[in-house]
Each structure stands twice: as C-alpha cells, then as structure tokens.
Structure 1
Amino acid sequence: MERPTITPEADKTQLKRTVTLLPLTLYGIGVIVGAGIYVLIGETAARAGFYTPLSYLMASMLVALTAASYAELSTSFPVSAAETAYIRAGLRIEALATLAGLLVCASGIISSATLVQGGAGYASSLTGLPPLALAVFFALFLGTIVGLGIELSVGVIATITVIEVGGLLLIAVLGLGNIDAVQAGVAAHYTPFDMSMAVGVISGVLLAFFAFIGFEDMVNISEEVKEPERTMPKAIAMALICVTIVYMAIASVAVIYVDTAELAASKAPLSLVFERVTSLSGAPISMVAIFAALGGVIAQIVMSTRILYGLGRMGKLPGWFGVVHPRTQTPVNATVLVTAIIVLLAMTLPTRQLAETTAAGTLFAFSFVNLSLWRMKGRPDYRSGGFTIPRIVPLLGAVLSMSFLLNELIRRIL
C-alpha cells in the first residue's frame, strides 16, 4: 500500500505532537458547530417545520458514513493534506488527489474570509469601528495565533468551543426544563406528520447536512496529534455524537418556542429563541456567535496551512510550503500566505457569494475519499491502522456525497 513520500528539502523540522483526545474532540466540535447552527437552524426549520430535530438526526446519520471513512483512513495515513494522501493511495490518480486537497484548502480560506467579514460586521455594530478595519485586524490577529503554535491554536478553539456550546446548552436546559412552556409550545406549534411533512424533513436533511461539515478538518492535524491511530477515530466519533445531541436539543427548543415561519425570517434565529426562552435580550447569543465565527477562522487557517504544508512535503507544491519554523514548529510560510489571502479576500471580494461554492469542494473531496477507501478495502494488501469499518460503508458514503454534490451543482445552475 502506497504511503505519502516526503521531499528532502521539507524534511527538516517536524510538526510537534502535542494534541491529546480532549483538546482534539473540542477542536472538532468547535469546527463543526462554528457559525453554522446559528444561521442554518432558521432555514432548516423553514423546510422541516416542527420536525426539524428529525432532520438533524437523519443528517447526522448520513454524515456518520463519511466520518467513519475518515476515521479509518486517519489510522492508516496520519498525515497532513489528508485528502490528498487518501485519494492518492486509493485511486492512484495524482492530479485528482492534489486537486481534492487544493479544493478543501480553498474552501477553508474562503470560509475564513467570510467568517472574518461576519464577525467584523457584528463587532462594528457594537463598537462603531469600520468593519473593513476590523476584518483586517481579526484576520491578522487570528493568523498570528495560528503561527505561534498548535497548542495555542487548539487551546483558543477549545475555549471558544466551551463558550459557544455552553451558550447552546444554556438555551436547551432553560427551554426544555420549563415543562409548562414546553407543553404550551407543543400544543401551539405541533403539526401532524404526513407526506408533505416527510418531504419537508428530507429537504431539511439536505440543509442540516452542512451543519455537520467540519469533522474532516480534524484529520489534517494528524501529524500534531499524540497516538493519532487511537486518538483520531475516538475524537471524530465523540465530536459528532456531542454535536448531534446539542443540535437536536436546540432544534427542539426552537420549534417549541418559536413559530417556524418567524424563525425562518429571523436574521439571528438563536438570539430570537434565547429571547423567547428567557425573556432577556438576545445580545449575549450574538456575542457568542462572534466568538464562534472567530474560532471557526482559527480552525480553518490551521486546516488550510496544514494542507499546503502536507502538499509541500509530498512534492505536490514547492517545498517552501513544507518549511516548519524551528521554534513554533508550525508551517510558517504557509501560515503567512494563507493569512495574506484571507486579508485580501476580506478587503476586496464578495466572499459571502464565493463561500456558497465551498460546499461543492468539500463534497467533491468526500466523494473521492469514500471511493478511495472502498477501493483500498478491496485490495488484498490493505491493512487498516487500527479502526476499521465494513466495506459497504464507504460505498454508501460515496453515493450519498455524490448525490449531495449533484444537488448542489444543479441548484447553482438553476
């Protein structure tokens, strides 16, 4: 079985293995939750109505197929630029493997620029400072955090994750803990489940699916994880389970306390839910959303730089990208370049529109990563690094990812 090769010019200073199970799990939760649930809950409710929690549950089960493929592959190839390594070993098409890695990297950079703009917009409304200046400051500040070391980056993300998940759990506990309000809300908003609702739930699944994307970023820091063969599968599973529980709890509170039409029309749906549950201002949740956006930027910068680093070490990009700073033990050149591109995009381009294309790049990678594992598991010389799944799982994951990708492409065209 082919293993990733490392170019001699890049094989000097190594990345530092310091990330353990709990920080990695918090990193994964933070990447997945990001800012998605704060916006997507309203749009999902518009489709699935009272049964929005069911859409999230079904979406998590579908995402779990691809997550399982990533978990197994991470034990066999615990490297940066993971998608490239997986596809290269499974399908043996070098150009396709490199393209997949670059698409995931580009998705991370564009998402970062979008999140920086969003966070700057919120901060501008609170401080009165120009959003453009704030966007540049945020990008440079967060890029510096990433450049200073993986321990600091993961620590900041873990802290932000505790804050944002804590905010979500607060809404869930207060909302579901008020039995009288729950009974009144169910009586007011319940709708019988029929064929039209079934169609709405399935449509909601298509949207809720994207609220779970992010787990794939975890495998790209495999070279900085202690015992990745054991740690990575556990962290991916724990992150998905935790996120699913939180999403279903929040979705339940949302459809119980707020009419779905009103929820869908709100620009800050979770702030609205918080107001209905507590009768307080939704400003604290808006603040949490800012933290979530900025934490998402750090995670995306980490992921993008590690892909460029990995491609540089594999010889798919110039070895300059694979250079690691001897003191911080981070890919300094890749970090500077990624941060500069994010600043440029945040200043000059309509990144909110560009960000709509990032889902297609991610689904492209999902499709071929699943196919790669399916092909590898059919070879007599393939041996998993530890964690293993039935061969039907990556095949189902590939079919599902390609279906979502086709749906995205058709939606863009029409």
Structure 2
Amino acid sequence: MIDQPDKLRRALNVPLLTLYGLGVTVGAGIYVLVGATAAEAGVFAPISFVIAAIVVGFTAFSYAELSTRYPVSAGEAAYVEAGFSSAALATVVGLAVAMSGLVSAAAVSLGAASYLHGLTGAPEAVLTVCVVITMGVIALWGITQSVMVAAVITVIEVSGLLFVMIWGFGFADPSGVGLTDILPPLTGPHWAGIGAASLLAFFAFVGFEDMANVAEEVKDPVHTMPKAIVWTLVLATVLYIGTTTAVLMAVPLGALSASAAPLSLVFASAPDTVQQGFGIIAIVATVNGVLIQMIMASRVIYGLADRGHLPKALAHVSVRTQTPDLATLAVVGAILLLALTFPIDALAERTSQIVLGVFVLVNLALIRLKLRGPSTEPHFRVPVVVPVMGVATSLLLFATAFL
C-alpha cells in the first residue's frame, strides 16, 4: 500500500529506533545531571541510577505491549483512551507527555549552552537560542533525515561516555572516592538522599517512552518496538552506572555537585586537546537530546490534533518533508520560553514528576485492557504483574519528592 502524502512515513527499523531511544535518553541525562544527582545522594549516586532503572524497567515492558497494540503517534494518549474510554483523560495525558518533552528539551538545551559557553565564552542565553533554533530546523527536515542525524550523534555521545569511563578509571588523578565507597549501608539516613537523587536520575532515563510516540513511523512495529525498547534500557543503564562511578572516582564530590557541565571535570588534568575534544562531544550529545525531544513532542501534538483533541491546524503535515511542520514550530517556541525562564534542576525535576504521573496512568490503562480479556490482534504481551509493579514503583519514586 502506498502511503498517502498527508500521513507519516514508516521508515524506522530496530537499529535506528534503538539509536533514537539512546539518543534522547543519554543526551537528556547523564551529560547534564550527574552533578545534581551527586549533590543529593553523595557517593551513592550510582545506586540512584540503579533504582531509577528498576522503576523504568517495569513500565518499559508495559510500553512494549501497548506500542504494539496501538502503533500510533501520541501513543500514551491512545493507550489511556483505550484503557479508560475517556477522550478528555487521553487529551490530558497527551498534553502532559508533550509538556515533558518540552521541559526536558529546555533543560538539556541549558546543559548544551553551558558546555558551549565553556568553549566559546559566548553568553549562555544566546547559545541556548541558537541550539534550539538549529535543532528545530533539523526536526523540520524530515523524520528519516532527523533520526539519521540523531543516530550519528548518538554514536558520538555514547563514545564520549566510554571515553569518560576509560579516562576516569585509567588515566585521571584519583581525586574522588574508592570503588567500595559507592555501596551504601543497608540502613541509615542516606537512603532519603538516594531516594531524592533517584527522581533526578530517573530524568536520565526519560526517553525510551518517546519511542512509542514515533510508532506510526516504525516498520513492523510488533517486532521492532519491543526489541528497541529493551535494548535502549539495557544499554543506557550500563552506560549510566559505569559513567557515574568513573566520575565519582576521578572528581572531588564538592566540585562535582556544583557543576552544570559535570563530565568535563574528569578531564581537568588532561591535555588541552583532550579537554577540548570532550567538550565538543558533550555539546553534540546534549543538542541531540533537544532534537529528539522536539521530534517526540511535535508528534504527540500532531497525533492529538489528528484525532480532534487539539486544533486541526496542528495536524498539518508538510507535503515536501512529510513532517508535522506547524506542531514542530509550536514546540520550538515553547522550548525557548521554558529554557529562558527556568533553571535546569527545576526543569529536570518537573519532567520526572510529569513522566511518572503518565507512567501510572499508562500502566493502569494496560491493567484495565488485560482485565477485559485477551486481544485477538497480534502484539507483544507481558503478564499483568508487570503493569501492577509499574504503578507501584512509579508511585513510590514520585513520593520521594515529598520526603
């Protein structure tokens, strides 16, 4: 069947979709928030990433089933509408997902501007505007082109994290903690800090759910979506734990906690060429997070408008690029407003809370769908205990914000 010119193009396979998920996940978190996580959890910051990965894991499998049941843009809204039979609740969830992408992109654009400022000395506000507008132009270019650009950047940013681990474990002056110091005692007040840091660490995993919002542009979503979601989560977790441990061993905790560009501190005693080279990698990594969150948020807005939940104009698709152009322009404007108004740690925490709320509703929707009986359509399946645990772990992590 030939795609109609006013519909999105199915062009993403497992490697591209995995790189898409890794790109938004890795770029949106580890390059920016290691310092803020260490400020809350201290030397136990890697444990916060483990807790966040467990919370994300249950919900990731729920998304794997739902994204194959309903392989459409604005996926979470479609899942909630199917599970709760409520168009109003679906609209609220869709807008919350889009907002999480906007807030996340704003946070990461500030991180990118901070790394750029370290190399150029230009004002961070100006650099933030340049980053957001440039990524907006790429997002308008086309889904295949945008994700190919993001995939190339993802390879670069993952290489950067491997470089941090190699340098931190093997070449940097051991100015931080010992390897055994990162394992916390089983009881004590330190767990409150670890719990609070887990909410920030969770922000570093925000990304895999974005893959559900490009499902309408995925080839063979029944087989592609689950594989790409699992690969994204496993690879991101390994990278995060290794990177955080290497940074804590190489950098004094006080300096790390106060930095908006934390990974660059690993190379403080390295030759200038090494420092500058990593600075460029960090910039590339963070701008990638901005690009992919833009793609996600614009597809959510497009999907809501296409189903009549938002003004129909936002469902306009460019005939030339087959991208939702008006939705993308609206997203660019909103990201600029947020980035120039709020600090990075506040943006990250709000993103985590919004996404956790969405996770609770998505898992509840899957529980309700399963209780109605098995679907006759072919799709990936998980046992009902998975979404039940997804609800419980998401609520527990959300509660840490109030400790």
Same fold (TM over 0.5): yes
- Matched with 2:230 is 237
Correspondent of 1:140 among 124, 133, 138: 133
The change in CA–CA distance for 1:406 and 1:98 in structure 2 (over 3 A counts) is farther
Which runs of 5 or more structure 2 residues have no equivalent in the other structure?
none
What amino acid is aligned across from residue 80 of structure 1 in structure 2? S
| 1:200 Cα deviation after fit | 5.0
- Matched with 1:270 is 263
Paired residues of 1:120 and 1:134 also in contact (CA < 8 A): yes
What amino acid is aligned across from residue 82 of structure 1 in structure 2? G
User: Is it true that 1:372 corresponds to 2:365 in the alignment?
Assistant: yes
User: Is it true that 1:109 corresponds to 2:99 in the alignment?
Assistant: no
Q: CA offsets per residue over residues 267-300 of structure 1, 9 Å max, x none? A: 4321122336x56664433332322221111111
SS in 1 for 2:73: coil
SS in 1 for 2:268: helix
SS in 2 for 1:195: coil
Correspondent of 2:14 among 18, 21, 29: 21
| 1:356 Cα deviation after fit | 4.0
Paired residues of 2:318 and 2:325 also in contact (CA < 8 A): yes
Structure 1 CA distance, aligned partners of 2:327 and 2:179? 55
Q: CA offsets per residue over residues 98-140 of structure 1, 9 Å max, x none? A: 1010011122223323433443344345334444443333322
The change in CA–CA distance for 1:374 and 1:34 in structure 2 (over 3 A counts) is same
What amino acid is aligned across from residue 24 of structure 1 in structure 2? L
Moved more, 363-372 or 244-253: 244-253
Moved more, 372-381 or 398-407: 398-407
| 1:323 Cα deviation after fit | 2.0
Which runs of 5 or more structure 1 residues have no equivalent in the other structure?
1-10
Moved more, 162-171 or 352-361: 352-361
Correspondent of 2:315 among 291, 309, 322: 322
Q: CA offsets per residue over residues 159-196 of structure 1, 9 Å max, x none? A: 11111110110121344457x988x9638957773523
The change in CA–CA distance for 1:85 and 1:190 in structure 2 (over 3 A counts) is closer
- Matched with 1:155 is 148
Structure 2 CA distance, aligned partners of 1:133 and 1:47? 30
| 1:208 Cα deviation after fit | 2.2
Moved more, 306-315 or 136-145: 136-145
User: Is it true that 1:306 corresponds to 2:299 in the alignment?
Assistant: yes
Paired residues of 2:202 and 2:352 also in contact (CA < 8 A): no
Moved more, 41-50 or 285-294: 41-50
Structure 1 CA distance, aligned partners of 2:184 and 2:335? 47
The change in CA–CA distance for 1:91 and 1:187 in structure 2 (over 3 A counts) is closer
Q: Runs of at least 4 residues of structure 1 off by over 6 A?
A: none
Matches within 5 A, 1:4-19: 13-19=6-12
User: Is it true that 1:193 corresponds to 2:159 in the alignment?
Assistant: no
User: Is it true that 1:127 corresponds to 2:120 in the alignment?
Assistant: yes
User: Is it true that 1:399 corresponds to 2:392 in the alignment?
Assistant: yes
- Matched with 1:335 is 328
Structure 1 CA distance, aligned partners of 2:71 and 2:182? 47
Matches within 5 A, 1:203-218: 203-218=196-211
- Matched with 1:7 is none
- Matched with 2:342 is 350
Paired residues of 1:100 and 1:361 also in contact (CA < 8 A): no
Q: Percent identity?
A: 43
TM-score by length of 2: 0.88
SS in 1 for 2:353: helix
Paired residues of 1:345 and 1:351 also in contact (CA < 8 A): no
